[in-house]
């Protein structure tokens, strides 16, 4: 069971099957990451998994927001503009003053 609760998202409990992955990082980074995980009372594996979860969730939230925004743009907005009846009305500057 995994409890995931970054500040900007709702907390939830989810049971998931874990998959091992191998990554290569600089040795200094690995050492600092192990220290950070120990300070937070977690494992390095859990620290990396949580950060990956945050990255993936942020990407999903962005993709959904983008999809909704593009949908609104496709439908368009009613700005109350009416098409002028002829070319002269379109270019009439006197009515703008």
Full-model pTM: 0.61
Please report whether residue 96 resides in a domain.
Answer: no
- Give the containing element (helix H, strand E) for 14: strand 12-14
The verdict on residue 82 lying in a domain is: no
**In a domain? residue 34:** yes
Domain contains 91: no
Give residue-wise pLDDT tens across range 36-77. 999 999 999 999 999 999 999 999 999 999 999 999 999 988
Task: Work out the average pLDDT over 2-24.
Answer: 70
**Which range marks the domain in which residue 44 is found?**
23-75
Is there a contact between 27 and 37 (Cβ–Cβ < 8 Å)?
no
For the chain, what is the mean pLDDT?
85
Residues with Cβ within 8 Å of residue 40, at least 6 apart in sequence:
47
d(CA 74, CA 77): 9
């Amino acid at each position: 069971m995994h409890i995931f609760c970054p500040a900007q998202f709702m907390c939830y409990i989810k049971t998931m099957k874990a998959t091992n992955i191998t990554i290569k990082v600089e040795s200094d980074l690995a050492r600092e990451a192990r220290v950070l995980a120990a300070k937070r009372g977690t494992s390095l594996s859990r620290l990396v998994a949580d950060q990956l979860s945050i990255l993936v969730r942020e990407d999903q939230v962005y993709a959904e927001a983008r999809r909704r925004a593009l949908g609104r743009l496709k439908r368009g907005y009613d700005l109350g503009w009416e098409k002028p009846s002829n070319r002269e009305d379109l270019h009439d500057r006197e009515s703008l003053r």
